[in-house]
Chain A
Amino acid sequence: MSMIEFKQTSKAFGDLTVIDKVDLSINAGEVVVLIGPSGSGKSTLLRCINGLESITGGDLIMDGISVTGNAKQLQKIRQEAGMVFQQFNLFPQMTALENVAFGLEKVRGESKEKSKEVALGLLTKVGLKDKANHSPSELSGGQQQRVAIARALAINPKVMLFDEPTSALDPELKQEVLTVMNDLAKEGMTMIVVTHEISFAKQVGTRLIFMEHGKITVDGDPNIIIDTPPNDRLKEFLKHV
């Protein structure tokens, strides 16, 4: 059974259709890389999966639950789908450790001590154990994003959603974030990544999806697609990234 299932899914903002009757099935263990020009709907597609955008047509099933369900069901979906944002969105009033422990404590209901212990383990995993007691404003962009990944991992999700995780970072800092993501993929985490990092798609992705005007126009093996783009629009797009 697939982990995420788009069934004729549409999303419109007023008259503007952003996702246009998309059918897509994603299985556990896949590392799907979503690319496309801006405004093509790739971020919106991602945000529909955990209900940050509500769909306006069709259905979308995440881990057996429809995103059109009630608030409780939506929370359940979100607890199985960790999300990493372009702007990190770390909670500024908390330290790195508290950011990571937050979900464990408030979502999973773990004790304070247990949460901190697990959080410290996750910070170690992303290479930031020594920054545990720093506040987000004291960290570089790359470090903040790694904390954000640890925070999303803390609730032990089945899927990780990445919304342009490296777009706000300079090239050097990008690499440290991509390395963490690479490690995560190697562990078998199901990942959906909206990105412009074609090298990441090639090296880590198991599947590449190209979107245009709210539709999926190319879907397949990243290495084949990138080396021999099946249509001119993608060929043109790849030249510029």
Chain B
Amino acid sequence: MEIDWSVVIEFMPELLDGAKITLYITSLGLLGGIIIGVIAGLMRAYGGPIINTIALIFIELVRGTPIVVQVMFLYFALPVIANIRIDPMSAAILAIIVNAGAYIAEIVRGSLISISKGLAEAGLALGLPYWKVLLYIISPLAFRRLIPPLGNQCIVSLKDTSLFIVIGVGELTRTGQEIMAANFRAVEIWTSVAILYLLMTGSITLILRTIEKRMKVL
């Protein structure tokens, strides 16, 4: 079969719809993941032995298993053991929330503990309660160190959504797969899919670079 780039125009609307779903899963997943990650990261950095262990178990469970297994568990196993039935889209978003949450937790913890202990002591010595020291002194500094690894995680999570092909979520990769099954235009389709991913990850990189430039990273 000859390579015919004109077919790209024909199936582009479909691919763009897939890309929209990819972005939808990624943004909701990361939003939840950041919330979970900040909570679990704080638990790891400042919690007592019990709280710390709870967070650690969550992180190790998630980091220690592949995301495909996690989403399969959420979609196929959860209905059986707990009678909780969720649609593929929710399972996909939940998988990103849980997965990104675990990784972001360690990023948050790392940024927090990287801030010099002396700064916290200086805040405490002024007579502030610890939560205010955390809020006004440590967090703003930790946030700046958080951005580069967080950006990395955003890109990883975006690409991880392609794995949800296994539960039939119509994201970009799945859409590409379906079009290909109909017309066998492998080169044209997978090239287009790859470029669309590059455009999305590239945008994340650009956004993060702008944030980084605005906040002088210390």
Contact = CB atoms under 8 A, between A and B. Distances in A.
9 contacts: A75-B128, A78-B124, A81-B125, A87-B116, A89-B121, A91-B119, A91-B137, A102-B126, A107-B126
B129 A75 contact: yes
B118 A79 contact: no
Nearest to B133: A106
Contacts, number: 61
Given A85-B118, A89-B119, A91-B119, A78 B132 contact: no
A78 B125 contact: yes
A24 interface: no
B127 interface: yes
Nearest to A108: B127
A233 interface: no
A106 B136 contact: yes
Interface in B129-158: 129, 132, 136-137, 140-141
Contacts of B126: 78-79, 82, 102-103, 106-107, 151-152, 155
Contacts of B125: 50, 52, 78, 81-83, 152
B116 A89 contact: yes
Interface residues of A, number: 26
Contacts of B116: 87, 89
Interface of A: 50, 52, 71, 75-79, 81-83, 85, 87, 89-93, 102-103, 106-107, 148, 151-152, 155
Interface SS of B by simple majority: helix
A155 B127 CA distance: 9
B3 interface: no
B136 A85 contact: no
A85 B122 contact: yes
Given A102-B136, A106-B136, A91 B128 contact: no
A119 to B, nearest CB: 13
B81 interface: no
A205 to B, nearest CB: 22
A77 B140 CA distance: 26
Given A83-B125, A85-B122, A106-B126, 5 more contacts: A52-B124, A75-B127, A82-B126, A83-B122, A89-B122
